[in-house]
A = this chain, B = another copy of it.
C-alpha cells in the first residue's frame, strides 16, 4: 500500500519529521511517500496562509493522483481536507481529524493541547461535527523552537495543560501540531490519559480506508469533479478538475 504523506507548508524538515512518524506507525507493507508543496507558507500561522496552502496542497496532490492508495494530510489545520477528499480518487485523511476520531474510541470526551492559539482548532473540530466530544482546548505558551531548546521545560508546560484538560473531563488528549506529535514518546509515560498523535492515527485510519475499498460517492458534494474549467493553475490540478 502506498500512502502519500503530504505536508501543506514548504518546510522540508517538517515533511521529513511527519514521514518518519508515519513510517513508524505504518503496517508492514505500507510505503510512505513524503511530499512537500512547491509554493506557499513556510509555516501556516494565519488564516490566509491556510487558504494559500490549501491550493498548494491540492496542486501537490494532483501530481500524485492515481499513483497512491491513500493520502494523509500532514498538517494540523486539516487544510483543504474536504476539497482533497472530493478531488482525489483515493481515500484522504487529515491529521487532526484522525486524532479526534481516534480519541472518540478511547474514552468519552477529549481535549486538545497545542502551542499558541486554539480558536482555529475549535472551529475545525466544530466543522468535523465533534464539538460535543470536545472537553476543552489548551494553548501552551511555548514554541516549537523552545521545545527544541528546553524540552523538559516545555514538557512540563504541556503536562500542566493535559492535567487541566483532564480536570475539565478529557479522557484523552489530542496533540495539536507536528511539533507536539514528536513529543508523544516523552509525554505519554507521564500522562494519565492516552495522547493522540495525528500522524500515527492518520496512517492507520488510512490503511483501514484503503482496506475497506469503499467506493467514492458518485453524487453529492464529494463526487469527483468532471469538466471543471480552471485557468492559470498547475497542469495536473487543472487536468484532475477537468476529469481528464
B166 touches A220 (CB 8 A): yes
Taking the closest CB of chain B, its distance from the CB of A174, in whole angstroms, is: 12
A211 touches B204 (CB 8 A): yes
User: How many copies of this protein are present in the complex?
Assistant: 6
A105 and B207 CA atoms in complex are apart in Å by 12
Q: Decide if A58 is an interface residue (CB 8 Å cutoff).
A: yes
B201 touches A212 (CB 8 A): yes
A123 and B109 CA atoms in complex are apart in Å by 10
A137 and B177 CA atoms in complex are apart in Å by 30
Taking the closest CB of chain B, its distance from the CB of A228, in whole angstroms, is: 6
Taking the closest CB of chain B, its distance from the CB of A4, in whole angstroms, is: 16
How does the 8 Å CB contact mask read for A188-217 relative to B, with 1 for contact and 0 for none? 100011101000110011011101101111
Q: Decide if A153 is an interface residue (CB 8 Å cutoff).
A: no
B128 touches A221 (CB 8 A): no
Q: Contact residues of A with B, CB < 8 Å?
A: 10, 25, 27, 38-43, 45-52, 54-56, 58, 80, 82-87, 91, 93, 97, 101-102, 104-109, 117-120, 122-123, 126-133, 166, 169-172, 188, 192-194, 196, 200-201, 204-205, 207-209, 211-212, 214-222, 225, 228-233, 237, 240-241
